[in-house]
Structure 1
Amino acid sequence: MIAGLICLIATLVIYGLSKKLYRVHPKVYLSPLLITPLIVVAVLMWVKIPYETYYSGGKWLSNLLQPATVAFAVPLYKYYDVLKKHAVEILVSVLSGSVVAMLSSAVLAKWMHLDITLVTSLIPRSVTTPIAMNVSEVIGGIPNITAVFVIITGLMGAMLGPVVMKMFHIENEVARGVLFGTSAHGTGTSKAFELSSLTGTISSISMILAALFTLGAAPMILSLLMH
């Protein structure tokens, strides 16, 4: 118990320091979501602390992801009129993006002849971590592996998002928000808020919608691919 608590405190300290570094040097490769797990894993391997011991304290951080996701409701209320005006475009875009993300993950995994467990773990990679882990468990995947894919997807989305926007001249804030929220969930939403409050808000609702669509469609897509 004490060892788990120490691991929890160490994780928070490492995250806090990496976040300060990111504020000074806002580069994607210095993102706290990338730096923190790398340092934590390195430390655990160095001092030979088993994952079970770390998770006994670290699980509290995972539990906090769910209320943190609910907190996105605050900016949604602020821009309710904008969301209402573009509701159809947002719904259609997020639904299309979510289906493509799941299908591309499953097809690519099967093409590479990955184990069925890895295939199911990959399918929900484009939604926020707590929901992705739940979906993964429901369809027979490994939640912890799914969490790793979610982090990788988020970092890649936050990194490639600005490149895509520049390449295709995407300047509309609603379109930018949908892009980040659908493809890169929480990490992309953090990046979207760096662009503007409205872009971040649209990204928030897109992330939530993508999670709901994935929750409902993932079992059906997996069932189709297995036949």
Structure 2
Amino acid sequence: MGIFLKIVSIFITYLIYWVSKKSYGRWKLVVLSPILISPIVIILLLVFSHTSYNDYYNGAKWLSYLLGPATVAFAVPMHKHFKLLKRHLFEIIASITVGSAVAIVSSFLYAVWMHLGISLTNSLVPRSITTPVAMDISKTIGGVPTLTAVFVIITGITGTIIGPTLIRLLKIEKSTAKGLMLGMSAHGAGTSKAFEFGELEGTFASLAMITAAVITIILAFTIFPALRSELMI
């Protein structure tokens, strides 16, 4: 029965993702995005079928392990456009460093303003990077990894909604700017959106996402502890 449930969990998860992806590809509506639809449908199925999350996760967790290889796969377009990335190295490092610092500081200040507890604050701070790295940072600094994953998803969805609108309003035309903005603000979801604009946009978004993860790891163990010791009681 356990093996059967694991197989069903993986199959159902993949089926829901596949249907939502096809729907999004046809109508291009944000509300049909797999990152939004998949969790909602799975939660409803678990509730109505009276299946515990632990039972479901014991099977579907193998899909979660693919997050790492999926992130590494972004290196393919980066390698293809390596010379272009090297040409814009300073702009990339400078903009992503500032973006990562702003993400950490703004998240922390918001948590202080809302009087969130230490655990919630630690879970919220790494929300602006890709899920597997964010969860690892959250666990290390005393947060709740699963809660961090939720914050990452919310950030990604928000970024994919607001990002394209800002690009139109600000009349941003450079592939570099589009990609870096979407990759920094919405990580994996933003990178996927960037590839809809073009391969160059997606490549810069991939680099932004990976660079932001590295920089955030550094800042999370330097700036964040200092902020926490000074502003949290």
TM-score (norm 2): 0.95
1:61 corresponds to: 63
Q: Which of 85, 91, 94 does residue 93 from structure 2 map onto?
A: 91
In the alignment, structure 1 segments of 5+ residues that lack a partner are none
1:179 corresponds to: 181
Q: What letter corresponds to residue 31 of structure 1 in structure 2?
A: S
2:154 corresponds to: 152
Q: What letter corresponds to residue 120 of structure 1 in structure 2?
A: N
1:113 aligns with 2:112: no
- 1:29-57 Cα shifts (integer Å, max 9, x gaps): 11011001100000001111111101101
Deviation at 1:198, TM superposition (A): 0.3
Deviation at 1:165, TM superposition (A): 1.1
The SS at the match of 2:66 is: helix
Say if 2:108 and 2:121, in contact at 8 Å, map to a contact too: yes
Task: Provide the aligned length of Structure 1 versus Structure 2.
Answer: 227
Say if 1:65 and 1:130, in contact at 8 Å, map to a contact too: yes
Q: What letter corresponds to residue 200 of structure 2 in structure 1?
A: L
The SS at the match of 1:226 is: helix
Deviation at 1:7, TM superposition (A): 1.4
TM-score (norm 1): 0.98
Say if 2:130 and 2:213, in contact at 8 Å, map to a contact too: yes
Give, in whole Å, the separation in 1 of the partners of 2:223 and 2:5: 42
- 1:63-113 Cα shifts (integer Å, max 9, x gaps): 100011000111001111110110000110001001101110111011100
Say if 1:161 and 1:180, in contact at 8 Å, map to a contact too: yes
Give, in whole Å, the separation in 1 of the partners of 2:7 and 2:119: 32
Say if 1:120 and 1:222, in contact at 8 Å, map to a contact too: no
Sequence identity percentage: 48
Q: Report the aligned-residue RMSD.
A: 0.9
2:192 corresponds to: 190
The SS at the match of 2:173 is: coil
1:72 corresponds to: 74
Deviation at 1:23, TM superposition (A): 1.0
Give, in whole Å, the separation in 1 of the partners of 2:221 and 2:125: 10
Deviation at 1:203, TM superposition (A): 0.3
Say if 2:104 and 2:224, in contact at 8 Å, map to a contact too: no
1:21 corresponds to: 23
Give, in whole Å, the separation in 2 of the partners of 1:77 and 1:20: 29
1:166 aligns with 2:188: no
Q: What letter corresponds to residue 221 of structure 1 in structure 2?
A: I
